[in-house]
Structure formats: C-alpha cells, structure tokens
C-alpha cells in the first residue's frame, strides 16, 4: 500500500511540475510555468503554450497560453476548431485594461467581480468577413502586474453558406458554459 501511495505521489508531482494535473470532474489543471496563474480546462481541449494573438498587427503581438476547443465539439457544426480560451500577458503595461488586448472593440468596458477576489474589466470584440464570424470577450484583471487577461475566442461560419442538413449550428450555450467555468477557475498567483 505504501508503494502505491508513493507512485501516486510521484505521478502527481510530475503532472504538477509539467504544468498540468487532474482537477475535479475529469477536468485538468494548468499552472503557468512562470507562476502567474492557474486554471482548470476540460478533457479533450488542447493546450497551446506558444499562443500568440496577432490580430492587433505587427509589433503588437500578445503572448500567452491557449486552450483550444475539443475537436469533437466542433465536428459537424459551424464552429471552427481554432476557437479557444486563452490567458494572455502584457508585461510592460502601466495599467491593465481590456482595450490593450482588442482593436475591434464593441460596446463599453464593464466591471465584473470574479472568483478568487479578482476584479475583471470586460470588453467584447467582433469581426466578420467572407462568411466567417469572429467573436471574442477579453477580461483584464484590474491592477495585475504584469497585466493578465483572458480571451474567449469563437470563430464560426455562416450556417446559411452550407447546403441544408449538412452541418448544424454549434451549441453556443454549451460552449459559453465551458468558457464560463474556465474563467471562474482562473487564479492569479501574483498581482
């Protein structure tokens, strides 16, 4: 029995050291290697530790880690498999606001009191073209240093561009529930 416990402990330490570990409900836990944040993400979602947001243009890239949607969720739907939830970091920002992360903002910044004592400044963005729709919501952690934000990015296609019955509209409510659960799990380890 002691040997089994020893091997379980070694496995847990190795998983934690590698940045991922098992969380509740089959979800995985990701810990930023720089010790800035941790969060939980669902099974089947792929971790991209080399995520770079480039929509703001050359020289304005934003780096972070993205959790790309489970391909099974997008199969047969109009949701693109490049949809994701990300945590992004702007190290040199004097203040932490969501407009730093968006160039196509829609609406006004709103404040949301989040879990784990985080006050989020929230801003939406949207774009469309050639039958594609891009929707994103950025939540910047007020007073975080470095500036840390989450980005929910949904890329879908116009369902009217397909022959009837060939694909279905993605389950937006299920996608949003998953994103909300990921957002709620974010913990900042440094502020």
Q: 20-41 in b/e burial notation, b at 16+ Cβ within 10 A?
A: ebebeeebbbbbbeeebbbbbb
191 pLDDT above the threshold of 60:
yes
Write the pLDDT tens digit of every residue in 117-134: 899 999 999 999 999 999
Residues 152/83, Cβ–Cβ less than 8 Å: no
| pLDDT on residue 190 | 79
| pLDDT on residue 13 | 33
| For range 5-31, the mean pLDDT | 55
Residues β-bridged to residue 21: 29
Average pLDDT of the residues of the chain: 88
Write the pLDDT tens digit of every residue in 124-175: 999 999 999 999 999 999 989 999 999 999 999 999 999 999 999 999 999 9
54 pLDDT above the threshold of 60:
yes
Distance CA(22)–CA(20), nearest Å, equals 7
5 pLDDT above the threshold of 50:
no
What the block records as the tokens of 54 is 């480039």
| pLDDT on residue 114 | 87
| pLDDT over 70 percentage in the chain | 87
Cβ-count burial of 18 within 10 angstroms (0-12 exposed, 13-18 middle, 19+ buried)? exposed
Fold of 22-188: Protein Transport Mog1p; Chain A (3.40.1000)
pLDDT tier at 15, thresholds 50, 70, 90 = very low
| pLDDT on residue 116 | 85
| pLDDT on residue 43 | 97
User: Which runs of consecutive H residues, i.e. helices, occur in 69-145?
Assistant: 71-74
109 pLDDT above the threshold of 90:
yes
């Amino acid at each position: 029995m002691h040997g089994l416990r020893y091997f379980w402990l070694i496995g847990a330490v190795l998983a934690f050291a590698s940045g991922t570990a098992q969380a509740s409900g089959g979800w995985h836990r990701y810990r930023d290697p720089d010790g800035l944040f941790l969060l939980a993400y669902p099974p089947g979602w792929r971790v991209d530790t080399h995520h770079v947001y480039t929509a703001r243009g050359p020289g304005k890239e934003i780096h972070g880690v993205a959790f790309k949607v489970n391909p099974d969720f997008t199969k047969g739907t109009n949701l693109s498999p490049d949809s994701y939830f990300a945590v992004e970091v702007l190290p040199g920002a004097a203040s932490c606001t969501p407009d730093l992360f968006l160039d196509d903002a829609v609406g006004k910044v709103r404040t949301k009191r989040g879990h784990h004592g985080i006050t989020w400044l929230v801003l939406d963005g949207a774009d469309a073209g050639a039958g594609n729709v891009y929707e994103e919501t950025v939540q910047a952690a007020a007073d975080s240093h470095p500036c840390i934000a989450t980005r929910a990015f949904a890329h879908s296609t116009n369902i009217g561009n397909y022959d009837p019955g060939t694909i279905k509209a993605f389950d937006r409510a299920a996608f949003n529930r998953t994103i909300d659960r990921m957002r709620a799990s974010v913990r900042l380890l440094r502020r």
